[in-house]
């Protein structure tokens, strides 16, 4: 039986990447050592890190106007690093909220700067992106932040918000590398690796050089973007294994045809699932179709008494990690880049049969 991992993160890795990790585990690049044992100052690791940045710049069309930094920790570290580096306690940041992670980012930023939101923050689960009057955005704000894809609620921006010239910053943790976009409107983008770039432990930050080192705050060295930009992320011993896995995943994305190919496949995968859900009277999706996520698809059974039976049966059928987040309930299929179309076909087939036997 084939197993398909629908986990929201840490998420599925391409099979060929896992096989390469296995092959390299005891002897990486002829060193006679695992990559986990090799010095980050060795030429082999430096060459790998250099190639990793070249791949990122190629796949995402990153110009020399931007620094590419790999920072230990997850995206939550950036919730604090961004305001510490780019604002002050007397400053002002704007947050557009459309889900759980945006709320947490805003709350953390509020510890370091003054925060306003583009619309009142909902206490309920988001099913759409709240509209806002762009002309009301304070042009003196230090930055404008949003989360491009909310993994819990399955709400995704399909256009870049109008920040009225305020430096635009975005948490793209769950949809970076899943679709094409122009980098020019952004001052800063960040994404932790464990969705579409590898495994947990490292976060990619892409930032305009002009945004780096401009704060008068007394910033700890390890939370200063200037530290990572100046040293190419080699100030201290970095998370070497996640870095190595990221490079393998980036190579895999390139081999598949790059981000454009990933976008086309993700659209097909999500369309297959949404079309089935919409045609069913047994399941439902609550998100406004205009902002449905193409990488995280939450769904609910009309009869929630069947939830546990659905989860047990789907797991037994090899469809893993379909339980929705406790904050929203229901089910959730996370269909990141490494999830093949066969996984969606298996899921829809199972859902059809479950509906037939329980409807």
| Enzyme catalytic residues | 101, 171, 195
Separation between Cα atoms, residue 98 and residue 197, nearest integer Å:
23
Separation between Cα atoms, residue 226 and residue 205, nearest integer Å:
12
Separation between Cα atoms, residue 245 and residue 28, nearest integer Å:
12
Site of tokens 């464990």: 194
Tokens representing 25? 């585990």
Q: Where are the beta strands (DSSP E) in 45-179?
A: 66-72, 92-96, 114-117, 143-147, 149-150, 155-156, 168-171
- Provide the 8-state DSSP code for 198: S
Cβ partners under 8 Å of residue 178, min gap 6: 196, 259, 262, 263, 266, 294, 295, 336, 337
Say if residues 4 and 339 touch (Cβ distance below 8 Å).
yes
C-alpha distances (whole Å) from 95 to each of 61, 130, 132, 166, 207 are 26, 12, 11, 12, 18
Separation between Cα atoms, residue 318 and residue 324, nearest integer Å:
17
């Amino acid at each position: 039986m084939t197993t398909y991992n629908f986990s929201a993160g840490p998420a599925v890795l391409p099979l060929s990447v896992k096989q390469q990790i296995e092959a390299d585990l005891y002897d990486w690049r002829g060193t006679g050592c695992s990559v986990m044992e090799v010095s980050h100052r060795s030429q082999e690791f430096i060459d790998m890190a250099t190639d990793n940045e070249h791949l990122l710049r190629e796949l995402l069309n990153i110009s020399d106007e931007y620094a590419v930094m790999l920072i230990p920790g997850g995206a939550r570290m950036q919730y604090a690093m961004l305001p510490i580096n780019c604002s002050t306690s007397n400053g002002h940041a704007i947050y557009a909220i459309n889900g759980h992670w945006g709320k947490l980012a805003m709350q953390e930023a509020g510890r370091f700067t003054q925060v306003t939101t583009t619309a009142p923050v909902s206490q309920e689960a988001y099913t759409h992106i709240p509209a806002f009057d762009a002309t009301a955005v304070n042009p003196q704000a230090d930055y404008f932040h949003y989360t491009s894809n909310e993994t819990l609620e399955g709400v995704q921006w399909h256009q870049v918000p109008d920040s009225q010239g305020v430096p635009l910053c975005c948490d793209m943790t769950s949809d970076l590398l899943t679709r094409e976009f122009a980098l020019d409107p952004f001052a800063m983008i960040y994404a932790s690796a464990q969705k579409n770039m590898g495994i947990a432990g490292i976060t990619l930050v892409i930032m305009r050089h002009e945004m780096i080192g401009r704060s008068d705050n007394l910033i700890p060295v390890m939370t200063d973007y200037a530290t990572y930009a100046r040293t190419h992320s080699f100030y201290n011993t970095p998370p070497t294994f996640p870095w190595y896995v990221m490079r393998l995943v980036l190579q895999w994305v390139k081999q598949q045809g790059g981000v454009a190919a990933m976008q086309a496949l993700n659209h097909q995968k999500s369309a297959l699932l949404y079309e089935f859900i919409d045609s069913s009277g047994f399941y439902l999706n609550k998100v406004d179709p205009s902002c449905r996520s193409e990488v995280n698809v939450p769904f609910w059974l009309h009869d929630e008494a069947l939830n546990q039976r659905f989860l047990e049966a789907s797991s037994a059928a090899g469809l893993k990690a379909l339980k929705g987040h406790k904050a929203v309930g229901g089910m959730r299929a996370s269909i990141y880049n490494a999830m093949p179309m066969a996984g969606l076909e298996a899921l829809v087939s199972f859902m059809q049969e479950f509906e037939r036997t329980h409807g």
